[in-house]
Amino acid sequence: MPRILFVEDEAEVLKTLTKFFTREGYEVHGARTGAEAIDIADSRPVDIAVLDVMLQEGPAGSEGMDGFEICRSLRDGGFDRPIIFVTARTTEQDKLLGFEMGADDYVTKPFSLLELKARIEANLRRAGGAKSVYKFGDVEVDLDAYEIRHADGAERLSNRERDLLRYFIEHAGKIIPRDELLKRVWEYKSGIATRTVDTHVLTVRKKLRDDASSPRFIQTLHGVGYQFIAKEGA
């Protein structure tokens, strides 16, 4: 379970980030001030830190450190895991300053939760903290390469197919309603009538060479949704 430190002074934003990434299988630690962030990084294992640059003064008693200062303090204290800045400041000078302070990536506002998740995953993979290759019997899925590999060749995945398959793999065994897939993979609002989920599941099944009448991987639960039933290595 990857461990994320979010530094965000707006309580509702921090609550939303915590809820989303906890559901996605992450262990989330939240801090609203620089002092809290440094204390967490010093006392608990953290795989990646996501810092809001434009922190306000925050709760009473906070030092008023901004994201740049927190990043510098973390690096000076020996924190060697990836750091991502989140900010509305988009000038080249701001970005260069962030990288000089020791940041690994820069996400500008506004952004979607899925975009942030993708950036976090990419940085974790580069740091060796997130998995991208899975093997299910005679089928190998390489999410970084956008491929499903069989003994006699490989099938290419589109961006959406890769995201859908990742969601299935990360939630293996769980019954996933179509509405959840629309919200989590497509970021659609609930109540939208669409066949896009079923269409994409069909194409992923074909590339997995999964027989819908006797599925090894993606099982249809009529009137409910889908379930990814394969276990890695099986």
- Model confidence pLDDT, tens digit, residues 153-179: 999 999 899 989 988 998 888 999 988
C-alpha 184/C-alpha 165 separation (Å) is 12
Domain 3-126 annotated CATH 3.40.50.2300? yes
**If pLDDT is split at 50, 70 and 90, which confidence band does 58 have?**
very low
Residue ranges per structural domain of the chain: 3-126, 133-228
Q: Which of 64-78, 102-116, 136-150 has the highest mean pLDDT?
A: 136-150
Helix axes 196-208, 159-170, angle to 10 degrees: 80
SS3 114: helix
- Hey, how many other C-beta atoms are within 10 angstroms of the C-beta on 1? 7
- pTM confidence score: 0.58
CATH topology classification for 133-228: Arc Repressor Mutant, subunit A (1.10.10)
- Check residue 191 and give its pLDDT: 58
189 pLDDT exceeds 80? no
- Model confidence pLDDT, tens digit, residues 86-95: 887 766 777 7
- Model confidence pLDDT, tens digit, residues 198-234: 999 999 999 999 987 888 999 999 888 999 998 776 6
C-alpha 84/C-alpha 95 separation (Å) is 11
**3-126 and 133-228 share one CATH topology?**
no
